[in-house]
C-alpha cells in the first residue's frame, strides 16, 4: 500500500511540474516621442483625484523640439 501511494504521489508531482510554457518577456516601451510640432513653453497637466494616490501633476518644459525639464 505504501508503494502504491508513493507511486501515485510521484506521478502527481511529475504531472504538476511538467509542460509549463514560458510566456515571452514584454517588449520595452519606445521612448521616442514626436515633438516636431511642439512649441516652446512650459506645459502642466494635473490628474484627477485618486483615493489611493491622491492628485499628481506633471510639468514639461519644451525648448527647440526637445523636453528639457520634467517634474
Q: Is 15 domain-assigned? A: no
Q: Which domain holds residue 63?
A: 33-71
60, with CB counted inside 10 A (0-12, 13-18, 19+), is middle
For residue 55, is it within any domain?
A: yes
* pTM tops 0.75, yes or no: no
Q: Is 23 in a helix, a strand, or coil?
A: coil
58 vs 40: CA distance, rounded Å: 16
pLDDT digits (tens, 9 = 90+) for 9-48: 676 766 655 556 677 777 776 777 888 898 999 999 998 8
What is the distance between the alpha carbons of residues 34 and 42, in angstroms, rounded to a whole number? 17
What is the distance between the alpha carbons of residues 68 and 26, in angstroms, rounded to a whole number?
A: 29
pLDDT for res 20: 60
Number of domains in the chain: 1
Amino acid at each position: 500500500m505504501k508503494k502504491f501511494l508513493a507511486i501515485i504521489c510521484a506521478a502527481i508531482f511529475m504531472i504538476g511540474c511538467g509542460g509549463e510554457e514560458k510566456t515571452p518577456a514584454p517588449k520595452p516601451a519606445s521612448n521616442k516621442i514626436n515633438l516636431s510640432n511642439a512649441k516652446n513653453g512650459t506645459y502642466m497637466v494635473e490628474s484627477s483625484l485618486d483615493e489611493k494616490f491622491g492628485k499628481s501633476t506633471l510639468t514639461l518644459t519644451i525648448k527647440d523640439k526637445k523636453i528639457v525639464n520634467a517634474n
